[in-house]
Chains A and B, each alone.
Chain A
Amino acid sequence: MQLHSAQFPVLSLILLVCLAGLAAVVLLPAEKKQAVKYVSTVCSAVTLGLSVYVFVAYDRALGGMQFVEHLQWAPSLGVSYINGVDGFSVPLLLLTGIVFFTGVLTMWEHDLRVKEFFAMFILLVTGVFGMFMALDLFFLFVWYDVSLFPMYLLIVIWGSTNREYGALKLTLFLLAGSALILPGIVYLVAESGMGTFSLPALVNNADFSPFAQKLAFFLFYVGFGILAGVWPFHTWSPAGHVAAPTAVSMLHAGVLMKIGAFGILRVGMFLCPEGWAFWAPVMALLATIGIVYGALAGLRQTDLKFVIGYSSVSHMGVVGLGLAAMTVDGVNGAVFQMFAHGVMTALFFSAVGYIYDKTHERKFANLGGLSHVMPVAGGYFILAALTGIGVPCLASFWAELLVLLAAFDVYPVYGAVAVSALAINALFILRVVEKTCFGPVNPKWEHLPDVSFGLGMPRLVLAGVIVIFGIMPFLMYETIQSASMLLISGLP
């Protein structure tokens, strides 16, 4: 793992902007709802700008870890504050910036306990940003949990359907995941005998025994896999997504599940390549089951948010399958899919959120003809659906293509099963679109207003990102490639 120091600590600046935004929101009086929203918007816009900067300024030819910052933190414990990004984390930082910004804008009309909502929301995002850039296992774990614990209150206070159950289940599941990750980290650090939590030092110098790698990888795979929605640990995900308020669903399905997959990649695969090779067949099997299960379970759903929830399980299965292939294409596709699915699912939840806000109805059988009533909002919904089923020239297409190509190479049977499941799911999603947006207009919704320009903004941004990376996938592909080449070529 090569480290290239930063001229200017732009990564820490992202965290600082988040923390400053958090502090400002906490200090503002609760009555000043508008001010809270403006502060959050500015904070999210600045972080988006910085993450775009990182994405553009990352030197793809150079590769390795860039923008690295290093600070001694607790030497006696072996903890240092190291941040850095490579071709895997750069796209995910960008994703976080986009979803943060659009999430805040989506909640613009939100009126209940505004100050607390945005404080929690920003805290959560800070954790996500930190997790994607941390190169020290201590900080990585801290940020990981920081991004989880606001979740409970966010869902239980501001959520909807069955929120107490959904929130509790989600929190307990995810914390059970970190209950496996922490022993894994501590075990590897002790096993290395180096007394350091620094990821670069461990990757470059530690010599873990095959047994240690297998054991630790298992802990990481299950621990992070719970958050990544790996079947059979996914059951929290549909319940949690349905219960959560729109912006939280966006962030959760869009970004938080990626944290899980990213954790497997960053911690598991970087530190335990032999463990990765050992467990890859199991990963591939579980991922394929996840793809099929998500697709089939989606068929039975009548609630729009459940449909998206189960399609997330399916799409995260694609990520898992790509990682299990252990090839450059597979890893490229997996990371690309993390990004594409993040943007797509954010758009999906955001579109459904608008429809629900207006109609208070999420059963698609009771909707209908929404394209006539609200053509713009309906358009976003359709675009998200098309991206979800992997229509060419939209971002997900390239990601799924890469993963499936890699899978056919390594696991031809799983690849074939996955493709058929995705095709079935695609048909179903098209039916959902038809029932929701086309057909006769339900007279109950005739008078509803279309999405205004201001509220449409976040959806427009997300749609734009989907199209840009769909037409120019090489922008993303080259970035990821710079990291995956290194990772795969470094395998024993």
Chain B
Amino acid sequence: MTNWTLFAPELFMLAAAGLFFVLSLSRPQPARDYAVARVAAAVGLSLTAWAVGAEGVLFAGTYRVDLFSQVFKVLITTGFFLVICLCAELSGVADKRHSEFYLLLAVCTLALMLLTSCVHLLAIYLALELSSYSLYILVCLRRGREKGLESGLKYFIIGACASALMLFGFALLYGTGLSLHLADLARELPGRIHEPVVLIGFVLGLSGFLFKIAAFPFHFWAPEVYEAAPNQAAAYIATVSKAGGIAVLMRITAAAGAGGDQLVGFLMVVSVASMTLGNLAAIAQQDLKRLLAFSSVAHAGYVMIAILSFNAMGLSSGVFYALSLLVMKLTCFMIVIQVSSGGSNIKINDLAGLHIRAPVLAAALMLALFGLAGIPPTIGFTAKLLVFTAAVESGYLWLVIVAMINVVISLYYYLQVLKAAYFLEPKESAPPVRVPASLNFLALVLIFLTVAAGIYPRPFIAAAQAMTFGIIG
């Protein structure tokens, strides 16, 4: 007997998607769509928060509702809600497409929620594809579509390649007699991970998730997609979609037990290459969204450190890192969205004089940047500290030092952004930054979270540890 209440948040998101579908058939009314979206997102968030303690298994053991999935669902719906809150001026998307924009966001959110709960490789594949397909279309919704189409296509092709490799990997695993159920896989895989076929199958199987979190070698799409997508969609990809990707990646790699040398070696290459490439490329960027894209690539590298540590600390630090990325990246995109006029892209220098034009946003940006650079007392620092502790526990001190060198490199471009916001004089022609009171409040909440979780991480760490205990079951 299936307990459908376990599935209530997902069902609600499905219903919301259906509602937007109906709305998209009627005459376009952006204000109405926005109001409906806000309500739907708020209800979805509260429903998920209400269901946070639920536990159980659905659909013949392929779908596991546990603390891990439920907390990630809260993160995902929170991100969804906040991105919707930033859609008050969705000028990057044609008015008649607003309801479709919300429809796709809702579908993607649903898919990401499913993704955190799936414990069967094929179910994971389906959920991953559902979320990716929504995003492929979201990217193309940008007004003035040539650029959007081009990058949407690029996104799609790279995504399709990653999916193909992933499926091939799963097939190899299945072919060697391993189960596609994560729980069974977790029992058999650690003993067999040294077999070449199993190792290759597992590594290929990870490609879809590496694509999702924009890690090397599947990172090429990130800068183009961030640049070409509507600002709000880019915000969603950078935050919510990343959180889902990290969640599923953690679940899958947890099945590999202690990992084994070759797997860890592969993940180290991914990690070092991601952070180094991301940080070095970010230095050269002028477009703020491209810069954030490369910084995402770098952060994927840091996340990989948590994962390749293959210990309890690594898992809980991965959760904490996902939370920190959500908070910090969302703050940055909030500034991008509010500063840009008419949904256009902004250059770093367009932030000039932000400390006068929008003091609260400027302060939030400063903290988010320091957080991304991993400087205390911010959530970003504590996240890095946890990740590094996990890595050193597994004996990878050199990796931590490489990561810290990368942190210093990254500081260079974060400081350029900060300098623009606090030091450069605003241009005469700079459009005013309209910041409604609600957004100022949101910025204050994000500031509070950034600092509070940075200096008092205790509740978050406790939650992360509880979540990752028995992640496979």
Cβ of B408 and Cβ of A74 under 8 Å apart?
no
Task: Return chain A residues, CB-CB under 8 Å to B408.
Answer: 172, 175-176, 179
Cβ of B461 and Cβ of A183 under 8 Å apart?
no
Q: B220 on the interface (CB 8 Å rule)? A: no
Given A74-B458, A76-B462, 7 additional A-B pairs, CB 8 A = A76-B458, A77-B458, A145-B375, A145-B377, A156-B423, A175-B407, A190-B392
Q: State the interface size on chain A (CB cutoff 8 A).
A: 31
Task: Return chain B residues, CB-CB under 8 Å to A138.
Answer: 385
Q: How far is the CA of A157 from the CA of B384 in the complex (A)?
A: 29
Q: Is the interface of B mostly helix, strand, loop or mixed?
A: helix
**Residue on B nearest A156 in the bound complex, by CB:** B423
Q: Is the interface of A mostly helix, strand, loop or mixed?
A: helix
**Shortest beta-carbon distance from B65 to chain A in Å:** 25
Q: How far is the CA of A183 from the CA of B305 in the complex (A)?
A: 14
Cβ of A190 and Cβ of B389 under 8 Å apart?
yes
Cβ of A142 and Cβ of B422 under 8 Å apart?
no
Task: Return chain B residues, CB-CB under 8 Å to A175.
Answer: 373, 375, 407-408, 411
**Residue on B nearest A77 in the bound complex, by CB:** B461
With A76-B458, A146-B376 in contact, is A179–B405 under 8 Å at CB? yes
Q: How far is the CA of A187 from the CA of B398 in the complex (A)?
A: 10
Q: How far is the CA of A156 from the CA of B425 in the complex (A)?
A: 13
Q: How far is the CA of A157 from the CA of B397 in the complex (A)?
A: 37
The 7 A-B residue pairs with the shortest CB-CB distance in the complex, in nearest-first order? A179-B404, A142-B376, A74-B458, A190-B392, A183-B400, A145-B376, A176-B408
Cβ of B457 and Cβ of A172 under 8 Å apart?
no
Q: How far is the CA of A149 from the CA of B419 in the complex (A)?
A: 13
Task: Return chain B residues, CB-CB under 8 Å to A180.
Answer: 401, 404
Q: Which A residues from 137 to 156 make CB contacts under 8 A with B? A: 138, 141-142, 145-146, 148-149, 152-153, 156
Cβ of B393 and Cβ of A171 under 8 Å apart?
no
Q: A59 on the interface (CB 8 Å rule)? A: no
Q: A376 on the interface (CB 8 Å rule)? A: no
Q: How far is the CA of A75 from the CA of B407 in the complex (A)?
A: 27
Interface size range on B against A = 35 or more
Task: Return chain A residues, CB-CB under 8 Å to B156.
Answer: none
* Chain B positions near chain A (C-beta within 8 angstroms): 355, 370, 373, 375-377, 381, 384-386, 388-389, 392-393, 397, 400-401, 404-405, 407-408, 411-412, 415, 418-419, 422-423, 455-458, 461-462, 465
Q: How far is the CA of A256 from the CA of B456 in the complex (A)?
A: 25
Q: Which A residues from 176 to 217 make CB contacts under 8 A with B? A: 176, 179-180, 182-183, 186-187, 189-190
Cβ of B419 and Cβ of A164 under 8 Å apart?
yes
1/0 contact string of A459-476 vs chain B (CB within 8 Å): 000000000000000000
**Residue on A nearest B317 in the bound complex, by CB:** A77
Q: How far is the CA of A146 from the CA of B377 in the complex (A)?
A: 7
Q: A116 on the interface (CB 8 Å rule)? A: yes
With A142-B455, A175-B375, A175-B408 in contact, is A183–B401 under 8 Å at CB? yes
Q: How far is the CA of A159 from the CA of B360 in the complex (A)?
A: 24
Task: Return chain A residues, CB-CB under 8 Å to B375.
Answer: 145, 148-149, 175
Which one, B370, B381, B385, B422, contacts A157 given CB within 8 A? B422
**Shortest beta-carbon distance from A133 to chain B in Å:** 16
Q: How far is the CA of A129 from the CA of B457 in the complex (A)?
A: 22
Task: Return chain B residues, CB-CB under 8 Å to A116.
Answer: 355
Q: A73 on the interface (CB 8 Å rule)? A: yes
Cβ of B385 and Cβ of A182 under 8 Å apart?
yes
Cβ of B419 and Cβ of A76 under 8 Å apart?
no
1/0 contact string of A164-175 vs chain B (CB within 8 Å): 100010011001
**Residue on A nearest B363 in the bound complex, by CB:** A26
**Residue on A nearest B465 in the bound complex, by CB:** A76
Cβ of B397 and Cβ of A183 under 8 Å apart?
yes
Q: How far is the CA of A142 from the CA of B355 in the complex (A)?
A: 25
